[in-house]
Amino acid sequence: MLTWLSDFSSIFGPLNLFRYITFRTGGATATALFFVFFFGPRIIAALRLKQGKGQPIRDDGPPSHLLTKSGTPTMGGLMILSGVIVSTLLWANLRNHFVWIVLVVTGGFGAIGFYDDLLKVTKQTQKGLSGRRRLALEVAIAITACFAMMKLGTAHTTGLALPTINGFVADLGVFFLAFGSFVIVSAGNAVNLTDGLDGLAIVPVMIAAAAFGIIAYLAGNAVFSTYLGINFVPGAGELAVVCGALIGAGLGFLWFNAPPAQIFMGDTGSLALGGALGTIAVAVKHEIVLAIVGGLFVLETLSVIVQVVSFKLTGKRVFKMAPIHHHFEQLGWSEPQVVVRFWIIAFVLALIGLSTLKLR
């Protein structure tokens, strides 16, 4: 919204700063950070008052969780979402269709997660919205987002790009709807599975957002994209502002989510953040790179799949507990050890993902 100030740069020169994506990305980060800092305590107090017993804790989880995490309020994703949305509306170019598509998916997935959290809190059970119904809603939102990209984007919107190859390797055509929605829904649920320890999910999300902020800026710049040999996506650079808002809101949330957490993000936050990352990856045509940058989320998801398949086929479990972060807890790692080491893994994977920009 503040981009209109640049129209008056002829009257007051410094207003020309609002033309630049880099300046507005920094502004979005700072705004989201201070928004969550300021309103966070009020939101936590309100949620604690409304929820009473807070988020129900798994009975089969580590015993320490029942003692230390019981009564902690959930739905902290509301803090993140409000910070992201307010900051993005303030600093992004609202005439850019990518911005609105990402915001709609983020808000839609957040609404699904909110309803799921609400059912769990009110019924004090781990069973919220049914898996099929939740998945159907996620797919509907994701397909709508991909359809909007097809209609509003360029001729290459439906193309499939690989990290080590210059240009598109195939035009998916109508199958882009299935591929793109799969990436978005998978990202949302992968982050959701990762959110199991204090601070575990939010830092890798910020790391991934930083990586894709860089990718979005480069992909949306004709000069830089040509130099690097990546596909030029007109308008994609504006998504760097959204990524900045994600980082700022994430930092603010981490202040309250650091061990011992005052609040959990819940499905409200994890589904929304994952959906946002997935949508950004699809928009900038780096869907495969998302699997590298977000490799930690992939690992968490695979651990659950392997555990379920193994138990159904053989009656035996591969891991002591899934997702895999609980496996390491069962091996004797303390919660801070698991969290910090997983952060390191996420950072290394993000560097590997960014390195693919020159492997062409």
pLDDT tens digits along 59-74 = 555 555 544 566 788 8
Please report the pLDDT score of residue 358 as a whole number. Answer: 81
Three-state SS string over 262-303 comes to CCCCHHHHHHHHHHHHHHHHHHCCCHHHHHHHCHHHHHHHHH
Please report the pLDDT score of residue 54 as a whole number. Answer: 59
Q: Where are the domains of the chain?
A: 22-291
Q: Virtual CA dihedral for 228, 230, 231, 235, nearest 10 degrees?
A: -70
User: C-alpha distances in angstroms, 326 versus 105, 219, 269?
Assistant: 29, 37, 20
Please report the pLDDT score of residue 138 as a whole number. Answer: 97
Please report the pLDDT score of residue 196 as a whole number. Answer: 86
Write out residues in the chain with pLDDT < 50, as ranges.
Answer: 66-67
In this structure, what token pair is assigned to residue 250?
């994430």
Calpha distance 297→191 (Å, rounded)? 6
**Do residues 126 and 205 make contact, with C-beta atoms less than 8 angstroms apart?**
no
Please report the pLDDT score of residue 166 as a whole number. Answer: 78
In this structure, what token pair is assigned to residue 175?
């199958």
DSSP symbols for 60-123: TS-HHHHHHTTT----THHHHHHHHHHHHHHHS-TT-HHHHHHHHHHHHHHHHHHHHHHHHHHH
β-pairing, 159-161 with 168-171?
A: antiparallel
Q: How far is CA 203 from the centre of its chain?
A: 10
With CA atoms as reference, report the closest residue to 214 among 201, 230, 199.
230
